[in-house]
Structure 1
Amino acid sequence: MSHAFELLQQKVHHHLEVIYQSVDSVDDITGLADELINVMRLAQVQEEPVPHQNHWSQSDCILITYGDSVKMEGEKPLHTLLSFLDQYCNGLINSVHILPFFPYTSDDGFAVMNFSAVNEALGEWSDIEDISKRYRLMSDLVINHCSSRSMWFENYKAGRHPGRDFFVEMEDPDADLRAVVRPRTSPLLRPTETVEGMKHVWCTFSHDQVDLDFKNPTVLKEFVGIIRHYLDRGVNIFRLDAVAFLWKELGTSCINLLETHETVRLLRTLIEYAQPDAVIITETNIPNRENLSYFGNANEAHCIYNFSLPPLLVNTLITGDCRYLKQWQMSMPPAQNGTAYFNFIASHDGIGLRPAEGLLQDDEIDVLINTMQSFGGRVSWRAAEGGKNKPYEINIALFDALQGTIKGPDRWGIDRFICAHAIMLGLEGIPGIYIHSLVATSNDYERVKHTNHNRAINRHQWDYPKLTEALEQSHTQHRKVYDRLKRLIAIRSVQEAFHPNATQFTLHLGYQLFGFWRQSINRRQSIFCISNVSDQEQHILLSEINLIGTDRWIDLISNSVFESIEEGLTLQPYQTVWITNTPISD
């Protein structure tokens, strides 16, 4: 028995002791630890994972997409997606997050019927493997719940295994559940007829998404087996969907509980021993401080979604005032080596508002909501204390969200949109770009009407020949945005100072100029990132940003050279500069 294996046993045993310390029915922790290790096929492990190792660099950029965001008649969507990746992303984006590609019943994939199969309408496992051979593959582990039409839930209703004890039952449906944090307005409990009579099962998100009971270790074993299966199929990055709600304990908020955090640590241990360069990203759409807790002590999630960035950045660009974005950035701790922020500003869901709580004032959130609604956006709600509903997220395509300011639409839409991405691409962390941002897709009102779901507004399905035509014509918004984003990503990918863990400091340039300084880990390169977030010209002296006078400085984006730090710099509305002393190119 190797030393690495003994250490693995000790770690897994400790995790399980913490997770199940208050579950009386779980008494054989050693046996359970051995089972999990065997499921992950780690009995012959010889090496320990290297701690605090960064499995990413400035060259990493993740495209976020559904398996059928691009479609072509007569072809499986996963084939079409690979064609799109090779034609428009090769050499530009090296990683792809394919949103749930499993058989499902609702929520565009997040009500999973079978975690181990590929949705036949999309393709098959060989298609997933083909993509994983050419791009680093990120997959959802929809760990909190499954479809009400899954085999597990059908078995639950029939009293059969596996499934009969996989779900959270409430013996007293009238119990006080007011402390439970909810992301939706639907009733928490679902009445369900079973062979043992009427039961009430827990449904955090919808009655088609039934929460799994991780107090039953068999559920944990099932998901460890699913993880092993995904690794075998080429998945390298695991997005733990809605993981904050994993553990339920009456009398608590049932969010961010100790057992939930320890379960993430357990999964990280097992995944790291199985594949040392694999990465866990936690998807926790919650207030900023709670979100940060999923880093643990560099022993939990490798990466966390930077959920506060989208609402703060959109607020900045529609108001022309970066004070709240700046305050938040100064409060953010640098990620330790072995961890990183996952930055994004658009997603398949929407602009989350819970991550803005405590960062934006209520009246500012109201202005943000009203402005987005005037640009065609929708609002989704959640249940809050006292039986009231609160805005949960804004559903809108980012291209339309940035078409104007609080004063209304204007002529700066594309520049404002590019500015948002230039800021995101420069920040500490790994950037994720939603496919509909890369190609400047607008609000899809027909899809909202067809599905009756607000989120569908930003889940357009492109006919691939039509998308290709739009991207080949120089005058379209799609081509203009694609070309400019492509150039920014290419520049970013080779600059050492844009490493996800490179040093970052906030610059103080007033409220219309948002700026920060990045310095490479080896200290050879500095980049000063400055964006005009207003619709008016802004002027600055280079000496105001502490450039070293003996160095030669150049803006990577415009290729402008600055001969002296005494020069003045005029930034046009929504212009960004990346000023460096050591430009790096291919």
Structure 2
Amino acid sequence: MYHYTLHQRITRICEQQGLLLNGDDLGFYTRLCANATAIDSLYRSLYNHHLASDALFERLLLTLIQGHQQRNRELRKRDTEKAAKGQWFLSNEICGMSLYVDRFCGKLNDLPTRLPYLESLGVNFLHIMPIFESPAGESDGGYAVSDFRKVDTRFGTIDDLRAVQKLMQEKEMYLMLDIVLNHTSHHHEWAVKAKKGDPVYQDYFYMYDDRTLPDQFDATMPEIFPESAPGSFTWNKEAGKWVMTVFHNYQWDLNYTNPAVLVDMLDNILFYANLGVDILRIDAPAFIWKQLGTTCQNLPEAHTILRLIRQCVEVAAPGMALLGEAIVAPKEIMKYFGTDLYTAKECDVAYNATQMALQWDALATGDTRVMLAAQQDLLQKPFGCTWISYTRCHDDIGLGYDDSMITAAGFNAYEHRKFLKEYYSGTHPASTASGALFSVNPKTQDARISGSLASLCGLERAIAANDEQAINIAIRKILLMQAQSIFLGGIPMLFYGDEAAYTNDYSYLNDEGKSYDNRWMHRPVIDWQKNEKTKEAGTIEHRIFSGTQRLLKLRKQLPVVGDYKNIRWITPHNIHVAGFIRSMDESHLYCLFNFSNKAAYLTWYAFKEQGYGISNLYDHWNEQRLTVGSDHEYLIIEPYSFCLLESGSY
């Protein structure tokens, strides 16, 4: 709906800022006018009651204008190229890796020398884990930021980052960085001013003189880290106040009921956009709005803020997509893509954390029924958005799928979760895994799982026992898990070290700043002599590297794997096999994964009932042609193996 007064106001401010409305700035001006009503409506729904609402809205508009003015010609050109592709991030040609710079190669200025390694693997999208200033010993892996615009000296400088981005852009590689919207380090300048009693900056956080309101909040807020950081508030002696600290006592939650916080953080978002970030990973968006009497998670206002940010980014940096790192139940995660008028207009990308956990469920049990029970919810993702699909990441593995899904598969939910925790922590008699429980809640016994991909798949134990058969099985498990993530749909995101068979790194136990957090066991320090073994045929490193390399190469060759809402799960004729079809035009790709330690037999009727009338298939992974047999005959899939079967032209 056209808003004349708002349009006039925008024109006046743009002209005052020297924009050429009929020249170079026409595109920006057009986008701003087109999105202005939505921006205004979303903003007013949150802040209309605030005394400084109107003045801060004008500041928001100025922030967008300045963000546009600071965007260089190369980035504007890339915006245009991406727009011509539509939703560029849906492509089958994008394959990613997530890494810690210091643990991967040292510093940012060392990273260019390692890009050829990534390119040889098939990676063209890099998620560089947090690199902005955070205090040593109180960094939470970089998620306790003390300066959003200064690269921590441990990693280099902002100029080093710009140089990496420029080189990546020349190589047609994509870049993802994190922004932590929910909180800052207590060493951030806003927190420092708040500690000194500045009322302006005390209003940037949740700060209270006594326990009255903190106790009311705590009554309904679940503990995030009950072992290491119980409760959601910390007493700050310097300020003489209780401060909301949902994650750790050194991370102060930002108060988004104050519009000044939103505007200042939007300014930081556009700073990241103008560094050349292609996807901005918004950390912990589920927590950004707090309200008494609630869990302070996944509240409607949090979605309003994300939608507002998305509209603003679309205006000032249209080539940058937003990823919402919301690790929540399937029905909740769908809301982060947007609902109603904002369907597919909130976050462009989200982590498919549920599917990741379900793969680990299937690997431990050899049973795919829980995985299949969850798919109806996961298939609700709207067209135009995508997943980050992954087997492993920097974080723990949470068993965040609903009990109803476990029950639907015929299991007792409590006993099932108990088995998974025992299996992956290595205490179950049938387990081959070497992992550990993370963040055990002593009241509920809820826990998550730490451990590297290789160690959880049994490679650590197999190597220790010098058991060649167990090593072979572990490698098959690793490639099985990676294959399903890579072909399921979304942007596949490898975690560094997994491509080169890294088992748990226990050196974190000797670091006082890390020893309390066993997630560091699956965040290895890369030994480049070990990585050289990826070039030596027959080594474990080479077998896993070359297998992963093949998977990524196949993905890029098959447009049908692009995320165009073109997936359908196959009827479960065998409980050990998870299968889905990716379709495009006349091409159909049947992706079948056997999670059992025994050969699986799948009736050919499973293919015929799809209605495509196929008689021949080509298995891209095993490089063989197959003839579809009679209904009483079977496709045989070896233990912990998979098939990528295409019909049509091949």
Shift of 1:26: 3.4
Q: 1:336 aligns with which of 365, 369, 382?
A: 382
**Quick one: distance in 1 between partners of 2:254 and 2:336?**
21
Q: Which residue of 1 aligns with 2:371?
A: 325
* Ranges in structure 2 where 5+ consecutive residues have no aligned partner: 1-10, 12-28, 407-412, 427-432
Contact 1:42 1:273 in 2 (8 A): no
Contact 1:12 1:269 in 2 (8 A): yes
Q: How does 1:461-480 map to 2 (within 5 A)?
A: 461-464=525-528, 466-480=529-543
Q: Which amino acid aligns with 1:399?
A: A
Q: Which residue of 1 aligns with 2:581?
A: 517
**Quick one: distance in 1 between partners of 2:553 and 2:543?**
16
**Quick one: distance in 2 between partners of 1:264 and 1:96?**
23
Q: Which amino acid aligns with 2:237?
A: E
Q: Which residue of 2 aligns with 1:40?
A: 67
**Quick one: distance in 1 between partners of 2:66 and 2:45?**
20
Q: Which residue of 1 aligns with 2:410?
A: none
The Cα offsets for residues 141-191 of structure 1, whole Å up to 9 and x where unpaired, read as 111111122222111111348734321113441432221133221221111
Give TM-score scaled by structure 2 length: 0.82
Q: 1:370 aligns with which of 406, 422, 433?
A: 422
**Quick one: distance in 1 between partners of 2:287 and 2:575?**
37
Q: Which amino acid aligns with 2:34?
A: L
Shift of 1:107: 1.1
Q: Which amino acid aligns with 1:570?
A: I
Helix, strand or coil: the match of 2:549?
A: helix
* Ranges in structure 1 where 5+ consecutive residues have no aligned partner: none
Q: Which residue of 1 aligns with 2:142?
A: 109
Contact 2:67 2:274 in 1 (8 A): no
Q: Which amino acid aligns with 2:545?
A: Y
Aligned length: 572
The Cα offsets for residues 42-64 of structure 1, whole Å up to 9 and x where unpaired, read as 799999x8998453300111111
Quote the sequence identity (%): 23
Helix, strand or coil: the match of 2:278?
A: strand
Contact 1:112 1:142 in 2 (8 A): yes
Contact 1:40 1:224 in 2 (8 A): no
**Quick one: distance in 1 between partners of 2:649 and 2:453?**
31
| 18-27 or 175-184, larger mean C-alpha shift | 18-27
Shift of 1:299: 1.1
The Cα offsets for residues 409-430 of structure 1, whole Å up to 9 and x where unpaired, read as 9451110111111111111222
Mapped pair 1:416 → 2:477: yes
**Quick one: distance in 2 between partners of 1:322 and 1:315?**
8
Q: How does 1:173-572 map to 2 (within 5 A)?
A: 173-174=211-212, 175-176=215-216, 177-185=218-226, 186=229, 187-194=231-238, 197-296=239-338, 297-355=343-401, 358-360=404-406, 361-374=413-426, 375-381=433-439, 388-403=443-458, 410-411=470-471, 412-450=473-511, 451-452=514-515, 453-464=517-528, 466-508=529-571, 509-520=573-584, 523-546=585-608, 548-549=612-613, 552-566=616-630, 568-572=634-638
Q: Which residue of 1 aligns with 2:18?
A: none
Q: Aligned-residue CA RMSD in angstroms?
A: 3.0
Shift of 1:126: 3.0
The Cα offsets for residues 424-449 of structure 1, whole Å up to 9 and x where unpaired, read as 11112221111122222111122234
**1:420/1:468 CA distance change after superposition, 3 Å:** closer
Shift of 1:310: 2.1
Contact 1:12 1:33 in 2 (8 A): no
Contact 1:380 1:391 in 2 (8 A): no
**1:331/1:41 CA distance change after superposition, 3 Å:** closer
Give TM-score scaled by structure 1 length: 0.90
Contact 1:17 1:29 in 2 (8 A): no
Helix, strand or coil: the match of 1:213?
A: coil
Shift of 1:333: 2.3
Contact 1:536 1:572 in 2 (8 A): yes
Q: 2:184 aligns with which of 137, 146, 152?
A: 146
| 237-246 or 3-12, larger mean C-alpha shift | 3-12
Q: Which amino acid aligns with 1:311?
A: A
Q: 2:100 aligns with which of 66, 81, 98?
A: 66
The Cα offsets for residues 329-386 of structure 1, whole Å up to 9 and x where unpaired, read as 2332243232112211201111122345554422111111101111332222266xxx
Shift of 1:292: 1.7
**Quick one: distance in 2 between partners of 1:154 and 1:358?**
46
The Cα offsets for residues 476-509 of structure 1, whole Å up to 9 and x where unpaired, read as 3222111101101100112121011241111122
Mapped pair 1:97 → 2:131: no
